[in-house]
Amino acid sequence: MTTIDLQPVKGVRDFHPEDMRVRTWLFGLWREVARRYGFEEYDACVLESEELYTRKAGDEITKQLYNFATKGEDRVALRPEMTPSLARLVLGKGAALALPARWFAIPQCFRYENMQRGRKREHFQWNMDIIGLASVAAEAELMAAQVDFLRLAGLDVGTAKPDVVLRVSNRQVIQHFLAGLGIEGDSFAAVCVIIDKRDKIGDEATAVELAKLGLTAESSAAIISLLDTTGLDQVAAKVPADNPGLLALRELLALAEASGIAHLVKIDLSVIRGLSYYTGTVWELFDASGSLPRAIAGGGRYDKLMETFGGPPTPMVGFGFGDVVIVEILKERGLLPTPPRGIDDVVYPMAAAEFPVATRIAAFLRAQGRGVAVDYSGRRFKHVIGRAEADGAKRLLVLGGDEVKAGVVTVRTLGPEKVEEKVPLATFGA
Ligand code: HAM
């Protein structure tokens, strides 16, 4: 007999019931915040056509695809992100979709990544996207939603030393700067993919990569120096006053002020993001302590993606917020809850003869909406009560032969009080 490997496939997770309770809690907060902002939930299949992810700019995500041919020779992939599926769905709706639309989803995504802390080969990603709104009011709203979630999760987002920072840039700042150097269109997207890796590969390797795209050493140096700019004033000092990226950042900051999140925003041109489809605002949410170097969430404006799929010009902006990093951060700070199992009552028939009456009582209580587990194990009282307490049940209903004959059930309140009383079976519909 061969024994099976008990580990899940490398880089993916199992969710035991206790993990699942945490996941359900997290998704519940995400859904609650989405509801508060008027977003509608959508979904798509994790299996998509591979062509949805093929991009000229050489995005890393394309290289990390779990892709294969089906038995029918169709090229398919497990989605690495939700945005292309969203664009496909929106495009499919056509003019029937009332714009602006606010859509959210919590897809599971797969990327063949080098695993590190905060990075796995599978993750769940809360996405909120606004379709058909060109104003940076959309970005401000999305950032405010992220902050509302963090507040609900217990993080400090209100004081002068908050737990998180929103690092924000706008690709148009650099795009217009590069256009002045003759770099436009697809080359711009390719430049973004390279400079996004600068943190990892360093300035020298970045310049080498940029040279492969035909940039001179002077141009590369100029881009790299621009990337080191932080704060709106410094950006304004480096680019012309009518640079559309600068104007958008200024407007965004004013709206962030209005929604009470401006203190969390740090304008930082080194934020590029690795996805080539972004065209305007790009932002990343980080743990301010720097203990986890990975972004908690990332988003941006992608006003041209629909056109690359053959659709009409449609402004779109959104973010992806993974479950892995945030859970690590909440765990580190002792903020991760241990949600209860949701069992209110355990009904304990002491022998098989009492099974029918136990079953009737359980049905009666369930019909009232209570969570009921019947302990049919036949184990000793000590075990049963121990298990019921460990499961967080509030009451134990004991059905011994004598009790049933006397037409009563012993109801024991679990927890510190431990009150016990005999209650007529009729009270529980039995
Ligand atoms: P992204 O930056 O690639 O953006 O991913 C967004 C978030 O997903 C990350 O900040 C992180 O929380 C999580 N994430 C990504 N990869 C992994 C991984 N391997 N392991 C664990 N967590 C991960 C996007 O995917 C864009 N489609 C987001 C977006 C939506 N932009 C506009 N709308």
Give the per-residue SS3 of the chain.
CCCCCCCCCCCCCCCCHHHHHHHHHHHHHHHHHHHHCCCEECCCCCEEEHHHHCCCCCCHHHHCCEEEECCCCCEEEECCCCHHHHHHHHHHHHHHCCCCEEEEECCEEECCCCCECCECCEEEEEEEEEECCCCCHHHHHHHHHHHHHHHHCCCCCCCCCCCEEEEEEEHHHHHHHHHCCCCCCHHHHHHHHHHHCHHHHHHHHHHHHHHHCCCCHHHHHHHHHHHCCECHHHHHHHCCCCCHHHHHHHHHHHHHHHCCCHHHEEEECCCCCCCCCCCCEEEEEEECCCCCCCCCEEEEECCCHHHHCCCCCCCEEEEEEEHHHHHHHHHHCCCCCCCCCCCCEEEEECCHHHHHHHHHHHHHHHHCCCCEEECCCCCCHHHHHHHHHHCCCCEEEEECHHHHHCCEEEEEECCCCCCEEEEEHHHHCC
Quote the ligand 1 centre to 32 CA distance (angstroms): 20
Alpha-carbon gap, residue 176 to 154, rounded angstroms: 40
Question: Are 70 and 139 members of one domain?
Answer: yes
Q: Are 347 and 375 in contact (CB under 8 A)?
A: yes
The Cα–Cα gap between 356 and 404 comes to: 11
Query: In this structure, are residues 307 and 2 in contact, taking their beta carbons and an 8 Å threshold?
Result: no
CA distance 362 to 322: 39
Q: Judging by beta carbons within 10 Å of its beta carbon (0-12, 13-18, 19+), is residue 313 exposed, middle or buried?
A: exposed
Q: Nearest 10 degrees: CA dihedral of 145, 95, 302, 66?
A: 90
Residue that terminates a domain, selected from 307, 332, 357: 332
- The finding on whether 298 has its CB within 6 A of some atom of ligand 1 is yes
35 and 121 part of one domain = yes
Distance in Å, CA 41 to ligand 1 centroid: 18
* 297 CA: nearest ligand 1 atom: 10
Nearest to 102 by CA among 144, 154, 47: 144
Ligand 1 contacts CB of residue 320 (under 6 A): yes
**Which CATH number fits the domain that encloses residue 416?**
3.40.50.800
The label of the residue with tokens 């041109």 reads: 269
Residue with token string 């963090």: 150
Q: Is residue 337 part of a domain?
A: no
Q: Which of 309, 234, 411, 239 is nearest to 83 (CA)?
A: 309
Which structural domain, as residue segments, surrounds residue 106?
Answer: 17-168+264-332
Position 55 in a domain = yes
Query: In testing the pocket of ligand 1, which one of 42, 48, 81 has its CB within 8 Å of the most ligand atoms?
Result: 81
Q: Are strands 47-49 and 75-78 parallel, antiparallel or unpaired?
A: antiparallel
Is residue 409 situated within a structural domain?
yes
Ligand 1 center–CA 341 separation, angstroms: 30
Give 48: exposed, middle or buried? Use CB within 10 Å, 0-12, 13-18, 19+.
buried
pLDDT, position 391: 94
> Are 141 and 69 members of one domain?
yes
Cα of 332 vs centre of ligand 1, distance in Å, is 21
Residuewise pLDDT in 10s, the chain (430 residues) = 789 999 999 999 999 999 999 999 999 999 999 999 999 999 999 999 999 998 888 889 999 999 999 999 999 999 999 999 999 999 999 999 999 999 999 999 999 999 999 999 999 999 999 999 999 999 999 999 999 999 999 999 999 899 999 999 999 999 998 888 888 878 888 888 899 899 889 999 999 999 998 888 988 998 999 999 999 999 999 999 999 999 999 999 999 999 999 999 999 999 999 899 999 999 999 999 988 889 999 999 999 999 999 999 999 999 999 999 999 999 999 999 999 999 999 999 999 999 999 999 999 999 999 999 999 999 999 999 999 999 999 999 999 999 999 999 999 999 887 899 999 999 999 8
Question: In the sheet where 75-78 sits, what is the strand order?
Answer: 47-49, 75-78, 66-69
Q: Which atom of ligand 1 is nearest to the CA of 299?
A: 31
Same domain, yes or no: 328 and 350: no
Determine whether the shortest distance from the Cβ of 345 to ligand 1 is under 6 A. no
Burial of 368 (0-12, 13-18, 19+ CB in 10 A): exposed
pLDDT at 416: 84
- Residue 39 sits in the same domain as residue 61: yes
Cα 180 to ligand 1 centre (Å)? 31
Residue 382 and residue 280 in one domain: no
Does residue 48 form part of some domain? yes
Q: Which residue has the CA at smallest separation from atom 11 of ligand 1?
A: 322
Residue with token string 């892709």: 67
Q: Are 292 and 380 within one domain?
A: no
Report how many domains make up the chain. Answer: 2
Does residue 322's CB lie within 6 angstroms of at least one atom of ligand 1?
Answer: yes
Same domain, 29 and 125: yes
Does residue 407 fall inside a structural domain? yes
Check whether residue 287 and residue 364 sit in a common domain.
no
Tell whether 319 and 408 lie within a shared domain.
Answer: no
Query: Of the candidates 297, 332, 367, which is a domain's last residue?
Result: 332
User: Which residue, of 286, 302, 332, is where some domain finishes?
Assistant: 332
- In this structure, how many other beta carbons lie within 10 angstroms of the beta carbon of residue 121? 19
CB-count exposure of residue 290 (10 Å: 0-12, 13-18, 19+): exposed
Q: What is the pLDDT of residue 41?
A: 98
Q: What is the pLDDT of residue 186?
A: 80
Residue 298 sits in the same domain as residue 163 = yes
Q: Classify residue 236: in a domain, yes or no.
A: no
The burial of 60, by beta-carbon neighbours within 10 Å (0-12 exposed, 13-18 middle, 19 or more buried), is given as middle
Residue 97: its pLDDT value, please?
97
Cα separations in angstroms, 143 against 109, 257, 345: 22, 12, 42
* CATH code (residue 141): 3.30.930.10
Q: Pick the closest to residue 136 from 227, 275, 258, 307 (CA basis).
A: 258
Query: 352 and 322: one domain?
Result: no
CA-to-CA dists, residue 320 to 27, 271, 392, 414, angstroms: 13, 15, 35, 43
Q: What is the pLDDT of residue 144?
A: 98
Instruction: Determine, yes or no, domain membership for 115.
Output: yes
Q: Whose CA is nearest to atom 21 of ligand 1?
A: 119
Global confidence as pTM: 0.95
- Both tokens of residue 9? 């496939």
**Ligand 1 contact via 80 beta carbon (within 6 Å):** no
- In a domain, residue 381? The reply is yes
User: 77 and 49 in contact (C-beta within 8 Å)?
Assistant: yes
CA of 85 to the centre of ligand 1 (A): 14
